[in-house]
Amino acid sequence: MKRFLQIDLQFLKDEIKTEAKSLGFSRIGFTNPDGPLHFDTFFDWINNGYAAEMEYLTRPDTIAKRKDPKLILPACKSIIVVAMPYTPSGFEKRDNKFPKIANYAIGDDYHIIIPKLLDKLIKFIVSKVNPVEVEYRVYTDTGPILEKELAQKAGLGWIGKNTCLIIPGKGSFFFLAEILINLPFDPDIKFEKDFCGNCTRCIDSCPTNCILQNRTIDANRCISYLTIENRGSIPEELRKKINGWIFGCDICQQVCPWNIKFSKEPDPNFFQTSESIKKFDIVSDLKIDKSEFKNKYLKSPIYRAKFVGYKRNLLVAAGNNFHPKLVEPIYNILNNDENPELQELAAWVLKNKYE
Ligand code: SF4
Ligand code: SF4
């Protein structure tokens, strides 16, 4: 600790903010590791079964870490939270398009891009405090911490009724990332205001009515969960509501006035539409095999749905947006696919068509 006293941490904090911005993180805040805001809301959400089958959220060890980040890094003195915009030129209103993909997934996978930038930021910090040993952990949607809660605590914005972190004047189309670090920076002032006011646009627009009153979501019904994390089938009563979404859903963000306003003046960023999305064709994707899926989507967030989940999504979307060109690949799945769940879905698509 004596060594830290020789470093002007306030000056360093300002330097880190400047460096983070030059790397593309348009918002950055500092907080302490004394636990997130609203942990109880998260705990109730888990206990009420709203996390669906996401067992990585409900394991006792990960719950404990979410409550106390020092269980992840005992030497942690500060948490740096950064936000990077992902919409190339304002968000795309994809609601009239088929198929529909959540805006965050139209670029390359942020799990590949952002850690490299965090690494550069860490190297910058290390170079500034040398020879003090820097202990740290970095996450971007990859570890057991409550990112949005920490972002609010670090002063970035508030958690809207759609459950997203909303940055004033900028909206919610941001990736969040965190650096847990052993340097004792002064925390920034937490964000206390709530600019949702009487607005209920996100709640009113959600196709499956899964946004709950306490700013949480029932994942069991959320299209984002059903088409990404869900490893099972999609309940028949929800299939129609999924409409043309083949990966994720962001209706509750697209309708938010803060995003509509933001889309007119987007922050610059480097997430551009990936080649796999540019070349997307549902007929050929209905025919791809596992290794072709890997080649095409390994660098895309779509890979997270896994091969069977992705085909499942295509079939549900095809059933809701039938076109004659889909007949041949769907019959092929019905007659030849090894997976009974996909065969059942193919039968569902064809039944829909002839009803
Ligand atoms: S992602 Fe879609 S389904 Fe999920 S809460 Fe938002 S609007 Fe509803
Ligand atoms: S749509 Fe309205 S209620 Fe929902 S998050 Fe945005 S401002 Fe808040």
pLDDT in tens, 73-88: 999 999 999 999 987 5
Query: What would the mean pLDDT of 119-125 be, rounded to a whole number?
Result: 97
What residue owns the CA closest to ligand 1's atom 2? 249
> For position 264, what pLDDT does the model report?
63
* DSSP-based three-state secondary structure for 132: coil
DSSP-assigned beta bridge partners for residue 165: 159
Name 71's Cβ contacts closer than 8 Å, sequence gap at least 6.
64, 65
Q: Is 267 known to be catalytic?
A: no
What is the CB neighbour count within 10 angstroms for residue 214?
A: 11
pLDDT single digits (tens) 227-264:
999 999 999 999 999 999 999 999 999 999 998 877 66
pLDDT single digits (tens) 276-322:
888 889 999 999 999 999 999 999 999 999 999 999 999 999 999 98
pLDDT single digits (tens) 41-96:
999 999 999 999 999 999 999 999 999 999 999 999 999 999 999 875 545 555 55
Which residues have C-beta atoms less than 6 Å from ligand 2?
160-162, 196, 199-202, 255-258
| Active-site position among 34, 44, 108, 141 | 141
What residue owns the CA closest to ligand 2's atom 1? 256
Using the mean position of ligand 1's atoms as its centre, give its distance from the Cα of residue 252 in Å. 6
Distances (CA, A) of 267 to 141, 190, 195, 252, 263: 21, 23, 21, 21, 9
Distances (CA, A) of 302 to 176, 224, 320: 19, 12, 20
Name 319's Cβ contacts closer than 8 Å, sequence gap at least 6.
239, 345, 348, 349, 352, 353
d(CA 263, CA 240): 29
Contact 37, 152 (CB under 8 A): yes
> For position 352, what pLDDT does the model report?
81
Name 38's Cβ contacts closer than 8 Å, sequence gap at least 6.
146, 149, 159
Look up the pTM and report it. 0.93
Using the mean position of ligand 1's atoms as its centre, give its distance from the Cα of residue 183 in Å. 38
Using the mean position of ligand 1's atoms as its centre, give its distance from the Cα of residue 351 in Å. 27
Query: What would the mean pLDDT of 135-145 be, rounded to a whole number?
Result: 95
CA 216 to chain centre: 15
